Structure 1
Amino acid sequence: MNNKLLRVGTTYIPVANVDISAKWYVNNLGAVLSYQDEEKVILNLADQSFFLVKAAENQNSNFTDSNGNERFSMTFEVDGLDALEELHNFFKGREMHVGNIENRGHVGRNFVFADLDGNKFDVWSELSPNFKEVQNLISK
């Protein structure tokens, strides 16, 4: 099949205030602002476009799993445990809402953080093999 999905291009994140949220993502996550109006902001982050969209009250991108736990819908990757620990400490130093580094019983370690609207994100200490391969090709 030649018509296959190749990558995720854009992720939409509900926020209460696009201006305040945009500043938070730029200042805390290093996102690059590429467009803004009163209803949405387009950010470039982690080789992807993120649309922060003004949403109805009390909206976020989290969901409840079958065990009743509120979960994130996206995992960011960093290159190794040292990078994970460094980012975790950076986020804590910025007084962001950040959980503990966890061992979830698989390769690597993770932690969860949240933005101003409570949108939760996961960070994993392992790069996906395909991304590593592309990065190695680019660096040669």
Structure 2
Amino acid sequence: MSKETGKPEENALRAVCSVYVPVRNPLQSAAWWERHFGLTFAVPYNPAEAQAILRLSEGQWLHLVETRGPIDNQFPDKAGNEMFRLTFEVRRIEVLYDRLLTQGVRVEHLADRGSCGINFVFCDPDGNQFDVNEVVRAHRTPEEAEQVRAYLFPASAAR
């Protein structure tokens, strides 16, 4: 602690290790996440806990927690737009986007957010919305980034 300000001298929060998502049926939800994203169980399923715990590729845990109450994982921003609580970082966003569309996953809001990257929103079977992002300028050559943009936004590329 700084004696002058009383504040910590460094950022004490390092990362998000777990995210909790309300679901109706943890095992069915876990199977959906495994089928569409390749997630696997972080720990064996324990029915007494009423949650399935899956591992993301970087080690974070996604807790699919059974609820009987309303599922409301979104909130409106000041302008009234429905917002999501979580953005997943991905590589090869165009491949994931196509795969989810082909598999019948509800996908919406494909957007090129410039220096923030390319994003889209998808919904799980319980209606939870999640954002997906790839900062193509940071992870690809300029030529590759333009190819991805032209592929995902063909109307813009034609101009």
Q: TM-score, normalised by structure 2?
A: 0.71
CA deviation after TM superposition for structure 1 residue 106, in Å: 4.1
Distance 1:103 1:18, change over 3 A: same
Give the greater-gyration-radius structure (CA): 2
Identity of aligned residues (%): 35
Distance 1:100 1:3, change over 3 A: closer
Match of 1:96 in 2: 105
Within the candidate set 19, 29, 35, 1:27 is matched to 35
Q: TM-score, normalised by structure 1?
A: 0.80
CA deviation after TM superposition for structure 1 residue 101, in Å: 2.0
CA distance in 2, matches of 1:3, 1:78: 25
CA deviation after TM superposition for structure 1 residue 105, in Å: 4.8
Tell me the amino acid that sits aligned with residue 98 of structure 1.
Answer: V
Runs of 4+ off more than 6 Å: none
CA deviation after TM superposition for structure 1 residue 111, in Å: 0.5
Match of 2:52 in 1: 41
Match of 2:134 in 1: 125
Q: Please, what is the CA RMSD of the aligned residues?
A: 1.9
What 5-or-longer segments of structure 2 have no aligned partner?
A: 1-8, 139-159
Matched positions, count:
125
Alignment of 1:1-140 (within 5 A): 1=9, 4-33=12-41, 34-38=43-47, 39-47=50-58, 48-79=60-91, 83-126=92-135
> Higher relative contact order at CA 8 Å, sep ≥6: structure 1 or structure 2?
1
